[in-house]
Structure 1
Amino acid sequence: YEYGADPQDPTCGSDLLMKFAPNGEMVGKYTGGGLSGSGFGIAFDPSGQLWVSNFGFAGEGCTEQPTHNSVSLFSIEGEPLSPAGTGFTAGDLAWPQGMDITAAGDVWNANCQTGTVTVYPGGDPEKAMTLDAGLDQAFGVVDTGTHVVVSGIASSSVAVFNYDGTLVGGAALSGDEFVLPMGVAADPEGNVWVANSGSTTLPCPTRPISSGPAGSIALIDADGQTVSGPFTGGGITRPWGIATDGNGNVFVGNFSDQRVSAFCGTSPETCPGDLSTGDPISPDAGYAFDGLVRNTGLIVDPSGNLWIANNWETVPLQTNPGGHQIVAFIGLAAPVEVPPFS
């Protein structure tokens, strides 16, 4: 979002895409292609083209609702490839949030408003499929290399799809392991970790009332059906974004209390001491830093640095709530191998 300097001035969705160098320097700004208040979804396809979901956020007092039913596409050079003004809208996109792209170039998008999932096979909107797994507020998406996993916040459920769009096991997963889940992340072995916010829902366009326990994480094995957890501790409070490193250990961005949490993954031999899978690596207060605000997405880069988005101010005014920075924890994680573009 493009937030103004005066928090009393209402802000609407931005039409700006920013590029940063490995040292954190901003090296490019891009517009066009229907960009509109981008959501949680941003992903490169195998050829290096960049896809972005358009959630269409509007702060209180915004006089116009930005477009909220499209995705945008950019070339590797940053040129917009999707229709100007509208983006791609095929497949009943509706307040799209999370996104991931398979090795075959299939683009998967979670629709927060309808709970459905839109798939562009091979990145072709004209072949769009719309999948309904009974999710409410579909949000996070991750490709495991075998399946695609999508979280449903308000339904407290997680759908595991085969690449053809059918559900593994015939139905979405639900149970005490999932409480308002948001981000999902796959490790190198194809296991999936789920960030249970415990209390967060989204305005897409209305926001359900929510309440629950403190945040946690859960684990879905590579078979797509075996679930364990929930796991707590490590300073976890209100998890949103989640990522794994090259060892499969887990990092969580919390939307409250200015901290990152870390957990032992499915290869305990890479964890300190005698920790087991799901045990917290970070201290009880998490990895705290005053430079953090309310955090959402995070990712581990090929050098093992952890990057996290300062998404909202600690005390957000709803007219103009946005944070203004990204934060790097240098060398905190194990490097992640990233395949080259084809």
Structure 2
Amino acid sequence: MDQSNNVWMASYGNNAVVVYPNQTNTPISYADANTEPFGMAITSDGYAWVTYTGSDTVSKLRYSSGVVSKLFTVTLPTGSNPKGVAVDSLGNAWVAAGATSTVYAINSSGTIVGTYTGQGINGPWGISLDANQNVWVANFGTTSASARYSVVQLCGATSNCPTGVAMGAAITPSAGYTLPSAGSQVLLSSGQPLYGTGAPASCLPLMRLTSVNADMAGNVWAANNWKPSGLNDILLNPGGDGMVIFVGVAAPTKAPSLGPAQSP
């Protein structure tokens, strides 16, 4: 929702961005050559950043007087498949390019001002900011290998970071924040193994993540959306095993959010 109570949606299935003006039930639809809109974030002045995972693009849109229009489009490298997007207090859009394990920072005019890889970034999907304007990345992974999935915190553009850590550099350890199992296989709430009795055991309680957000106490919530084995799950993935909470690792962040993240 933007500051004028307009509800924005990324309609991935029909390649459109849809706005419901002032929460009414009469939608305004916008479509152009960009395909598969996926992520969306609202700026402090009411514009919308939209990622298009099908066309490797990011657009900045606005809604005014019943019309959705485009300010510009930023083209990312072919095969980037951008997904999540978040906006900081300076107007920069932070974009998770899952297929290339890259996070981009794009300024309010559409110029890429940062390209960040490594540091535990592995197939990023979800992305958000805490009240310190630092960036949290949820890793989905890019391979079916038994990689240890993680969440990664990057220093944001406001330099509200530990001494010597520059914009885009990781604040978290080299592999991000992981969730060790101590060798025990993951069990569902019923007590059954993650993949069922007799199936291969999984010792990866932190799975393929699609979303990460900080709450008003500074806890980081990560969505275990996909089970970790690509071999078992890529065709008929039945979902992950709930939520994982990293306690007190982020700046406390106001909820619900409207525009860039704020302190409570």
- Percent identity, aligned pairs only, is 34
Residue of 23, 41, 45 corresponding to 1:123: 23
Residue of 219, 226, 229 corresponding to 2:105: 219
Q: Does 2:175 match 1:289?
A: no
Structure 1 SS opposite 2:51:
strand
CA contact (8 A) 2:97 2:104 kept: yes
CA–CA separation in structure 1 for the residues paired with 2:130 and 2:103: 16
Counterpart of 2:88? Answer: 187
CA–CA separation in structure 2 for the residues paired with 1:250 and 1:339: 18
**CA deviations over 1:100-122 (Å, ceiling 9, x no partner):** x1121111111112321011011
CA–CA separation in structure 2 for the residues paired with 1:339 and 1:140: 18
Q: Does 2:169 match 1:279?
A: yes
Taking structure 2 as the reference length, what is the TM-score of the superposition?
0.78
Counterpart of 2:38? Answer: 139
Structure 1 SS opposite 2:222:
strand
Amino acid at match of 2:55: S
Structure 2 SS opposite 1:172:
strand
Amino acid at match of 2:51: S
Counterpart of 2:199? Answer: none
CA–CA separation in structure 2 for the residues paired with 1:289 and 1:220: 31
- Cα shift at 1:224: 3.9
Counterpart of 1:43? Answer: none
- Cα shift at 1:340: 9.2
Q: Does 2:229 match 1:329?
A: no
Change (3 A) 1:302 1:177: farther
Counterpart of 1:312? Answer: 226
Deviates more, 1:242-251 or 1:131-140: 131-140
Q: Over aligned residue pairs, what C-alpha RMSD do you find?
A: 2.0
Residue of 138, 153, 156 corresponding to 1:262: 153
Higher relative contact order (CA 8 A, sep 6+): 2
CA contact (8 A) 1:133 1:172 kept: no
- Which ranges in structure 2 are unaligned for 5 or more consecutive residues? 142-147, 181-204, 259-264
Amino acid at match of 1:144: T
CA contact (8 A) 1:140 1:182 kept: yes
Residue of 73, 85, 103 corresponding to 1:172: 73
